[in-house]
Amino acid sequence: MDLSLTNEQANNLIKLLEKTITSVTRTLVDGDHGQIKIGEISETTSHQFILYYFYALDNIHLNFTDFETKLTLVRINLDSKFHKNANREYVRGNRVEIYDVAEFQLKDDGHTYYRAYKLPYDGIADTEDFIVALQELFKYTNLINHDSISLRIDTSLKFMD
């Protein structure tokens, strides 16, 4: 696998967004997953991203991916698992993984191209809440105008007979 983005290009893409062109309203239940196409269209740029999400009561993943290259730029994991960085540092529990060419080269496994950091990190809060983590991802990726994306958590109680 060859990386088609430099760190600078990836950082520029992460900070590119200002508004979304997608309208989504969903209520999530335990085990839900999906994707949302996000994009920026202006006089100077037209670029799209995909936000992949997985919601479970104890396992949440938000994966912000470049549509063109299919590379993950930012991933938030809220779970009890770990990621092992190239320097052999284990980052356990809630973490963010950021695109990093040096990590790809050092890890030399042909597919890991992001470095993990324990939350909180660079303005991204540590939380167990899917909606808060989603807001943090929007803030980090500069997605200021995201009113057309409405994800809610089903809080209804389910009783067994």
Interval 100-146: pLDDT, tens? 999 999 999 989 999 999 999 999 999 999 999 999 998 898 876 66
Quickly count: other Cβ atoms within 10 Å of residue 30's Cβ.
12
| 120 in any annotated domain | yes
Which phi and psi (to 5°) does residue 35 adopt?
A: -145, 150
| 2 in any annotated domain | no
The yes-or-no verdict on residue 60 having pLDDT over 80 is: yes
| 158 in any annotated domain | no
Separation CA 96–CA 63 (nearest Å): 10
The yes-or-no verdict on residue 92 having pLDDT over 90 is: yes
What is the count of structural domains for the chain?
A: 1
Q: Which residues of 36-55 are buried (b: 16+ CB within 10 A; e: fewer)?
A: bebbbeeeeeebebbbebbb
pTM across the whole model: 0.82
Tell me, what's the pLDDT at 125? 96
Question: Which has more pLDDT, 104 or 149?
Answer: 104
Tell me, what's the pLDDT at 155? 77
Give the lowest-confidence range in 3-7, 71-75, 85-89, 132-136.
Answer: 3-7
pLDDT band for position 96 (cuts 50, 70, 90): very high
Which phi and psi (to 5°) does residue 49 adopt?
A: -135, 165
| 1 in any annotated domain | no
Tell me, what's the pLDDT at 157? 52
Q: Please give the average per-residue pLDDT across 82-107, as a whole number.
A: 96
| 26 in any annotated domain | yes
| 133 in any annotated domain | yes
Separation CA 100–CA 19 (nearest Å): 25
Tell me, what's the pLDDT at 20? 57
Write the pLDDT tens digit of every residue in 8-53.
888 777 766 655 556 778 889 999 999 988 876 556 667 788 899 9
Q: Which residues of 61-79 are buried (b: 16+ CB within 10 A; e: fewer)?
A: bbbbbbeeeebbbbbbbbb
| 76 in any annotated domain | yes
Residue 51 in tokens: 């936000």
| 157 in any annotated domain | no
Range of the domain at 27: 7-151
